[in-house]
Amino acid sequence: MHKMVRKIISSLGRQVSTMACGTTQVRRFLHGAYVRIHPSVQKALMEGRPVVALESTIITHGMAYPLNLSMAREVEETVRTNGAVPATVGILRGQIHVGLTDEELEFLASSKTAVKVSRRDFPFVLSQGLSGGTTVSGTMIAAHKAGIPVFVTGGIGGVHREGENTMDVSADLTELGRTPVAVVSAGAKSILDIGRTLEYLETQGVCVAAFGESREFPAFFSCQSGFQAPYHVRDEEEAAKLIDSALGLGLSSGVLIAVPCPQERAASGQVIEEAIQQALSEARSKGITGKEVTPFLLQKLIELTDGKSLDSNLALIQNNAKVGSCIAVALSKLQKARRKGNLPRRGDMTAPQPVVIGGINVDFIAKAQNPDILGGGQTNAGRVRRTFGGVGRNLADCLSRLGQTPLLLSAVGKDEHLESVLRYCHHMVSQFKENLCQAPLVCIDGNVPLSTIQYVCQLAKEHQLAVCYEPTDVNKASKPFLSDSWKALTYISPNLQELTAINRTLGNPVPAESPSRLEDVVQTAAALACPLLAHLQCVVVTLGTHGILLCGKSLGGSILLCPGAHEQTAAASLCAAHYPTIPISREEIANVSGAGDSLMAGILAGMLDKHDTETCVQMGLLAASLSLRSYEPISPEISTSSVSQEQVKSRSWPEAKVWKMD
């Protein structure tokens, strides 16, 4: 394919697929000057295989060298043994690494100057070219941006004891409340106030579930904390379903899966508590505060328990890695199975999957509160809204809301808006599987490069594809008409100005001035559409407040939308049918940028569902009227229930006026 078609951003479907979204995020993440993704991790993510993120603070601050290095190697091997790809996250010389080589693991493990990196520390550490271990918070951020949904750690931070006085609350908790990654850990560290930690997680909207046979929330070194987890999952399949539901809902919060330390390696709760009290007392006397508290307490516990806490720590980390890897594998299988179920099988004509090739835009709309704009430099009160548009995106969005499963091919910018676009479009995302040549319909807009348009038209000619061209604007409308490529198109949907530009490019007569009266507008539009119908199935001329003019071959008074239908009879003649818009007051109009795209998407959705021409057009008019009332280009109210054959039949419609064009 040509350059743009090779840049596949995503495949659109009716269900959420976080893996596909993550794959696209990986592409963007790789472009950052501060980021390096290990080739094995990158390859796994691109192929949709399970990946498990691992933190590195446990390497740099949790254990002494060389025990920390052997532990890190063993944990990565445990992940591999259980069917996933390990991605240890760390900072090396001012660059975030997602996945480390053995040499890089050793560098962090032996470093005497590595810093502890949480959310707040990234800007400084990266700007200064420092190296460090990422905390739970820091690792979650990197994992999410890389598209890794499962992260394994020993234990999360939380509310410190006497936190009600010191306000010492770990950033891990707020990160869990705003970053959609599943964290698999042995609960919260025993040195913390576990009750208040659970309360804080509830406030942050974090779904917490104990793993295994008990609802008891584990206390890191020991299996019992005295507190119950809000929820309970018995095995990796149940955990995967919980995580998939959270990701599917598009919640911005994470999930905490609390896995108890293996019973035979767990430390006595009483022994640990006595050691904690002694360690806390010593920390207070030495004035140790902030992020230095946890490493000090953990090291002190090793001394006070004669190494029993360290033994438990090593055991729970290995167990968490095993459980987390199994969860990641189950999640990957669940998502793949659902995507496979959503995509139409070859030859399955009951579930057509159109392809849309076109642009994605981030639009900023400013609207003044008062109709009269003050000059002279005064401030005019108003409101600015960010919306997501682009003709291709709009068409795919609306088709998706109307029950279709479109695939969107688009070029995307490498800027800060890309992640927002992907989040907004989550309801359309799944994994691209179908070949362009097998699509029942291909939509292409004028933002696409000329070479790509010509390539698609050539494919359409060779494979008898139905292609709809949306001209986008007057300057781009004529792209296919610069050569004979346009003769392979099936539908076009220009406004009167775009239709005039197309005819001018073809050397056909055009009016000197644009008409204003409805009768003259319709007559002019029909005259300009007529020469195109020698090769096109249908021309849909959008007339703004005047409605639309549908021009094409007619049989029995109805214009034929489906390609090939007119070839079955010689009785078809060229006709134009005028359909008025649904009345809407000026005060009700919130946004006009997506109304035309909604109109065309409604018509095409009806056609794909094999409705008659009149129903298709009326579905388009319904969709357009909803989008006119919405601040978004495509109204969120558009659905298979609000725009349907049943809705069309429940309304009274003015009769379309039909003229012969022969």
* Peptide bond connecting 66 to the previous residue in cis, omega within 30 degrees of 0: yes
* Separation between Cα atoms, residue 483 and residue 454, nearest integer Å: 9
Closest CA to 196 of 166, 164, 171, 219: 164
* Separation between Cα atoms, residue 124 and residue 531, nearest integer Å: 65
Closest CA to 651 of 617, 618, 614: 618
**Residue 624, exposed/middle/buried by CB under 10 A (0-12, 13-18, 19+)?**
buried
Relative to beta strand 231-233, strand 355-357 is: unpaired
**DSSP secondary structure letter of residue 374:** P
Relative to beta strand 150-152, strand 51-54 is: parallel
Catalytic pick from 55, 106, 498, 632? 55
189 is catalytic: yes
**DSSP secondary structure letter of residue 62:** I
* Separation between Cα atoms, residue 113 and residue 111, nearest integer Å: 6
* Separation between Cα atoms, residue 195 and residue 182, nearest integer Å: 21
Residue 211's DSSP bridge partners are 233
* Separation between Cα atoms, residue 605 and residue 354, nearest integer Å: 10
55 is catalytic: yes
Relative to beta strand 11-12, strand 355-357 is: unpaired
* Separation between Cα atoms, residue 538 and residue 553, nearest integer Å: 7
* Separation between Cα atoms, residue 6 and residue 411, nearest integer Å: 9
Hey, what are 107's tokens? 């560098």
Rounded to 5 degrees, φ, ψ at 176 are -60, -25
Catalytic pick from 116, 145, 189, 308? 189
**Residue type for 32, please?**
G
Relative to beta strand 85-92, strand 51-54 is: parallel
Rounded to 5 degrees, φ, ψ at 53 are -80, 145
Are 340 and 351 a contacting pair, CB within 8 Å?
A: no
Task: Round the CA-based radius of gyration of the chain to a whole number and report it.
Answer: 30
Residue 169's DSSP bridge partners are 159
Q: Which residues are catalytic?
A: 55, 189
